[in-house]
Chain A
C-alpha cells in the first residue's frame, strides 16, 4: 500500500514548532507574534466531501470542541489531490453561516410571518396533512379501470443534495405513500 499523500504531509509537519520572532533579531516584545499559533493545531481531522459538482472533491474538516474551525482539500482523493475551486474553498463559512436555519419554522395559511416551532409539532402536523390528502385523493383505479393504487395530488421533489442512503430511503417512502409526481435535479 502506498504511503498516503496526506500522511506524508502530516509527517512533514510533525515537530515543527512556530519559530520565535526573537530569532529574527528584533526586540519584539510589544509586537504581537505574527504566527501566534496555527488555528488547526490540535484539531481533529475529519474527511468530508464538497456538496457541489460531481467531481466530489474531498475536504478535511478541522474540528475543535465539536466545531469546524477550518477546511481544506484532502490530498489523498486522487481526483482533486487536495485542490478546490471557489465553492469548495468556501466550506468553512458555508457550514458555519449564521444565516442558516436552526429551528423548524411554520407559516400558517394567510399569515404574513414565520413562527418557530418544535420538531414534534411540525412533523405531526405534516403527517396529518399527508394522511388527510392521501385519504381524500387516493386512486385505486384509473379512468380506464386499471388498478393503479396511487396519489396524484401529493408530490415529492429532491434531492441530489441527499446521500445515497437518504435517496434510497426517500424512494422507498415515496412509493410507499403511492406518489407518482416524483422528480429532482437530474431533470432540470
Chain B
C-alpha cells in the first residue's frame, strides 16, 4: 500500500477492483464504511457480486481479464474530458518528457519485439535526452512526441463502445464509475484504489496495476490522504516476506539478484545502480551500493570486506534471462531436474497452477522437507488418492512448527507497519518456530563441511550465522549495526551499536544491515520500535489518522509514500483539510516527508517520486517487459477469438512452460466455453491447510463449491446444491453447484459468455471437502513477475455422474 488501512477513511471515492475486500480483508471494511459514512462513494468492479458488493454503493460486473480495457476507458474519459489535475500532471509526472524516435506502437505491438524470444528490446522505448543526459521536456504538453500526447493517442482507442463490448460492462455502468472516480481529479478530493490478487494473477497483472498508477497520477491522487494505490496484501506476513525477498529474483530490500553477467561487486553495482544527471532528482537508488555492501557485510561479517568485494563472489548467480519461479521450478521437477527441497508454511500441491502436474513433479523428488502445523497435500503427496505409496521414492520429513502466539517476532502489515508480537506460551508438543528449525539445519550443514570437504564450502562456512534463534537479535541485525567506531551526524557510535537509519549505511564496510528498508526500526535511541503502542498524534496528524507513534513503518516511519506530491511548490498542501505534510517555513510538519529537502520553489527541493531515476511518476513506463503503456490482451485461455483493440489476441510476452501436461484450450474453444475465476474465502486461508483443521471454520464453509448464474444452471440443467464436475483441458474437479443471482452472464461482442467462480482452499487431506481447484488452472504467467493466471481460464460444467471427492 502507498497509504495504510486507517487512511481509507479519508477517501471521497473508493474503487475496489481486483479485490473482494469485505471477504478477504474483512477489517478493511471498518475503514471503507467510515469513509462511506462521511459521504464517500464505494464502487466494486468485479465479476462476482460478493459481500463487498453488498456494502458498496454499486457493483459493476466485469468479465475476468478485461481490467485494462475498463481502466483504459477511464484514462480516455479523464483525458478527453480534461478532468485531470493539470498542475500535478505537469510537475510530478513524466507527461512532459519527450519519447525517443524509436518508440512505435502498431496493432498491439510496441517497437523492439522479437517474435522468437517473445521479448522486447526496451532500449527502443527510451526518452530523448538533452546534452546533459536529462530527458527533454515540453512543459506545455503539446509536443506530439511528449508522453502526454502519446498517452492521449494510445487510449483514444478505448472508446466506451470498444470497452463495453470487451468487458461486458454496459456503457451506462462504465460512465457511472468513470464519472464518480474522475471527480477526484480536484485538489480537495481524494480517490483510492483497493486491489488484490484479482489484479495481479493475470498474464497482464503488472500492467493492470500500471493502469491504476497512471490514473491516480492523472487525478493527482498519489501521495495524498485518502488516495494512493493500495495493494491489499493477502498473506499473514507477505509484506514482510516480500520486503525480505523470499523470491529468487531479488535480495532483501528489493536489491536485484546477481546475474551471471555481473561477476564482481563493481560489475553488479554498475549494472544495477541508476544514474541521473538531473540535479533536482533525488534518484534514491543511487545509494544501492551502500545497501548491498551492508547486506553482504551482515551475511558474512568480517569475511566480507571492501577489499574482497564483500565476498560477492560467493553469492549464487542467476543466468541472464532465466526464470527460477514456481512455474519453472515445478516444470523442472516434473522433468526430473530437481532432487530435493524445503517447503516452509506453504502448500504447493494445492496452490500451484495445473496441480496435477505439480503433484507428479513432487513424486520425482529424492527428498522433501515440510515445516507445517498440520499434514498438508504437499507433505502427504506420496499417498494422495489414486497413488500407490509403495512406488513413491521420496524421503519426506515433516517438521511440526509453532503457531503465531507461540513465538515472538515482527510482521509487517499491508500499510508497511512493523508490528511486534509476543510469545504467549511455549510451542505445542515438540513443535518449534521456523527460525529455530532453520538455524539448526544450517548449523548442521555447516558442521558437515570443512575447508577442504565438499563442493565450494566457503559460502557456507563464512556465514555470520547465529548458534541459536533469537528474534530480538535478528531484529537488531535487520536494522543494522556499525562495524567500527564512527561519528555520524555529530554523534559517536561504537562498533556493534545500532545504526540510526539507512542514511548511515556505507559502501565501505563500516555498516551492516540485513535490510536497508528496515534501518531505523531498532536503534540505540528508540529501541525496538515495532513494540511502540503510543496512540498520540498532533492535531494535524489526527485529522487524517496517521498514528505515527504506533509501531513503526518503513521507510523511516513514513506513513504515506510520495507525500511530497501532496503539496505545491511552496510546500502548501493541495487540500489543507487533509494535509499529509506542510512546510512551516523552517521544516516539514505532519508525516515524515519523502526526503527532508525544502519545497521545490526554494530551488533546493527534489522531485517527489524519489525512487524513480528521473524523479517523476511514470505515465509512460519504459521499464516493464511488456510495453510502456498497458494495452489490452485477452487471458491466455479466452472465450473470444478477437477483440477490438488490436490483432494481438493475448500477451505477446506471457511466460509458459512446455510439457505433455501443459495443455491450453484454444481461443473460443467450444469444448470449454465458460470462463473460470478462482478466489480465496473469508472463512478459510489460501490453500486451506490450516483453516480446514479448525472445526468452527470448517463448519461454516465445509465443501468446495462453484458459483454460477441461474441462466447457466438452467442451460446445463443443474440445480442449486447438486454436485457437478468442472473440467478444463488439464483436469476435472468435483464441486457443489451454488446457483446464485450474484453471478451474471456477460454480453461480449453481442454474444453471451458465462463465468463461474471457485475457491481453492479445499484439499483431499480433509475428508469429503473436495480437492484442488488448481487442477484446472494453467501454468502461464505474467512476463514481469511470472505470477500465474489463476483468475481466468476456460472450463465446462456438467452434472456429476458419480461423486467421489465430496463424500
Contacts and interface: CB of A to CB of B under 8 A. Distances in A.
Q: Do chains A and B touch in the complex (CB under 8 A)?
A: yes
Interface of A: 1-2, 4-5, 46-59, 61, 63, 66-68, 71, 76-81, 83-88, 90-91, 93-97, 99-112, 114, 119, 122-131, 133-138, 140, 142, 144, 146-173, 175-188
B419 A159 contact: no
A95 B235 contact: no
Contacts of B80: none
Contacts of B6: 78-79
A94 B12 CA distance: 38
Contact of B435 (A53, A105, A166, A182): A166
B241 A160 contact: yes
A162 B396 contact: no
Given A123-B441, A124-B444, A184 B241 contact: yes
B407 A104 contact: no
A132 B260 CA distance: 25
Contacts of A170: 246, 344, 434, 438
B601 interface: no
A154 B373 contact: no
A23 B5 CA distance: 47
Contact of B445 (A2, A53, A131, A163): A131
Given A135-B454, A170-B434, A175 B785 contact: no
29 contacts: A54-B236, A55-B27, A55-B413, A61-B405, A76-B533, A78-B6, A100-B373, A100-B374, A100-B428, A103-B429, A112-B389, A125-B397, A128-B448, A130-B441, A146-B263, A152-B337, A155-B338, A157-B342, A157-B348, A158-B344, A159-B246, A160-B246, A161-B236, A164-B240, A167-B244, A168-B244, A176-B442, A183-B246, A186-B242
B375 A101 contact: yes
Contacts of A137: 339
B694 A149 contact: no
Given A99-B374, A134-B455, A164 B478 contact: yes
Q: Is the interface of A mostly helix, strand, loop or mixed?
A: mixed
A54 B463 contact: no
B425 A76 contact: no
Interface stretch (B52-60, B309-317, B582-590): B309-317
Contacts of B342: 154-158
Contact of B693 (A48, A97, A103, A160): A97
B141 interface: no
Given A49-B404, A153-B338, A161-B345, 18 more contacts: A5-B535, A54-B239, A101-B375, A103-B430, A104-B400, A109-B392, A126-B444, A131-B454, A160-B241, A163-B240, A164-B518, A165-B478, A166-B434, A175-B299, A181-B338, A185-B686, A188-B787, A188-B788
Interface residues of B, number: 167
A162 B434 contact: yes
A79 B27 contact: yes
Contact of B422 (A48, A114, A156, A166): A48
Contacts of B790: 188
Contacts of B383: 112
A97 to B, nearest CB: 6
Contact of B404 (A50, A119, A154): A50
Contacts of B696: 90, 93
Contacts of A184: 241, 246-247, 346
Contacts of B390: 110-112
Interface string B238-256: 1111111111100110000
A59 to B, nearest CB: 8
A188 B419 contact: no
A124 B530 CA distance: 35
A180 B318 contact: yes
Given A127-B447, A187-B325, A171 B244 contact: yes
